């Protein structure tokens, strides 16, 4: 592969999953070029390539960055990504996720970039009737976040029909944990991800952890999710890029572990890691939260050789705890 083919534009590369993927890209010999408006990302997380500060919704800006850097491909992470917020502020999600996708695809068309890896979500499936969830499961999202991700998938497919676009749509499940080397942490403001919220209560950074509903149709009444380590997700993205740049066909894949953990399972794992009981209180469930989301990732294993190696719950929780202690200066 020519050196020019190693440059990859990563939108949202200063964010949680994007920054971990930039590290993985660098380790695989790529040069990740981050484009981020830093509304939720952190400039300090951009360590493996240059940062271009700007908005993915600005077609001219994106096209200029693509042209000046000589990028051969794009990984698109930039998006608003909170289910609960999408229920109360849907306009933000359509403005950022759909308008951002339109601008990016237009910029790629203008500059002749034909390779795209898209960060999609299991939220596109909604409340599936089957578990684990395969890629051909009906997509009936039940919240604006999931709907905007599904629209993004459909836009990519439409552009691919009209232009020479090769793509990988990666529907991943619950990203969790932090870089095992300690180079990156999970740092959201406000924090809404489950595991750091539980650990914040364990560390005394919050008064308690709120369990949103305990009357779901699951063994212990709490929601079940497929937690996948962010490092394994990053590996899946680099494998998808290698596949496309190596001449592989466009694909749509789930990235998960095939194993579900309930909220109560997570609390127990966090109590073990922190060595203390965690104050928790049950509150009413939230609109838009499915009871169970667990992946069937067989296609990713077959087509990309994707096999999570860091996604057991103790490893995820331990890495997240180390990261939170680093962020908040809490002794371990």
Instruction: Report, as residue numbers or ranges, the catalytic residues.
Output: 145
> Would strands 224-225 and 261-262 be described as parallel, antiparallel, or unpaired?
antiparallel
Residue 201: partners with Cβ closer than 8 Å, 6 or more residues away: 207, 208, 209, 278, 279, 280
Report which of 99, 87, 159 is spatially closest to residue 123, judged by C-alpha positions.
Answer: 87
Residue 213: partners with Cβ closer than 8 Å, 6 or more residues away: 221, 222, 223, 282, 283, 284, 285, 286, 289
Token code pair at residue 202: 């364990």
What's the Rg (C-alpha) of the chain? 19
Instruction: State the DSSP code for 70.
Output: T
Token code pair at residue 170: 């990666």
The H or E element containing residue 255 is strand 251-255
- The Cα-based distances of 310 to 128, 155, 185, 268, 295 in angstroms read 26, 33, 15, 19, 16
Q: Where are the beta strands (DSSP E) in 132-200?
A: 166-172, 174-176
- Reduced to 3 states, what is the DSSP secondary structure of residue 115? strand
Token code pair at residue 329: 């200066």
> How far is it, in rounded angstroms, from Cα 140 to Cα 135?
13
């Amino acid at each position: 592969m020519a050196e020019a083919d190693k440059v990859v534009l990563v939108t949202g590369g200063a964010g949680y999953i994007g920054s971990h993927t930039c590290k993985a890209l660098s380790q695989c010999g790529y040069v990740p070029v981050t484009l981020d408006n830093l509304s939720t990302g952190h400039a300090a997380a951009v360590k493996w390539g240059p940062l271009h500060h700007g908005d993915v919704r600005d077609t001219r800006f994106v096209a200029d960055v693509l042209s000046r850097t000589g990028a051969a491909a794009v990984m698109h992470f930039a998006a608003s990504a909170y289910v609960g917020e999408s229920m109360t502020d849907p306009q933000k999600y359509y403005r950022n996720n759909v308008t951002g996708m339109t601008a990016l695809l237009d910029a790629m068309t203008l500059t002749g970039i034909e390779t795209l890896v898209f960060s999609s979500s299991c939220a596109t499936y909604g409340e599936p009737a089957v578990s684990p969830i395969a890629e051909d499961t009906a997509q009936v999202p039940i919240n604006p976040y999931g709907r905007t991700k599904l629209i993004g998938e459909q836009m990519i497919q439409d552009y691919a029909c009209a232009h020479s676009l090769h793509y990988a749509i990666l529907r991943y499940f619950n990203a969790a944990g932090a870089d095992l080397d300690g180079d990156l942490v999970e740092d959201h403001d406000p924090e809404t991800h489950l595991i750091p919220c539980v650990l914040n209560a364990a560390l005394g950074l919050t008064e308690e952890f709120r369990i949103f509903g305990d009357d779901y149709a699951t063994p212990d009444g709490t929601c079940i999710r497929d937690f996948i380590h962010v490092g394994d997700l990053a590996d899946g993205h680099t494998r998808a890029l290698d596949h496309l740049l190596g001449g592989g066909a466009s694909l749509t894949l789930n990235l998960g572990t095939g194993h579900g953990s309930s909220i109560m399972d997570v609390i127990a794992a966090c109590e073990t890691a922190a060595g203390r009981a965690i104050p928790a209180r049950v509150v009413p469930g939230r609109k838009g939260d499915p009871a169970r989301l667990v992946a069937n990732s067989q296609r990713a294993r077959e087509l990309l050789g994707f096999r999570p190696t860091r996604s057991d719950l103790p490893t995820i929780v331990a890495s997240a705890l180390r990261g939170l202690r680093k962020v908040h200066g809490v002794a371990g």
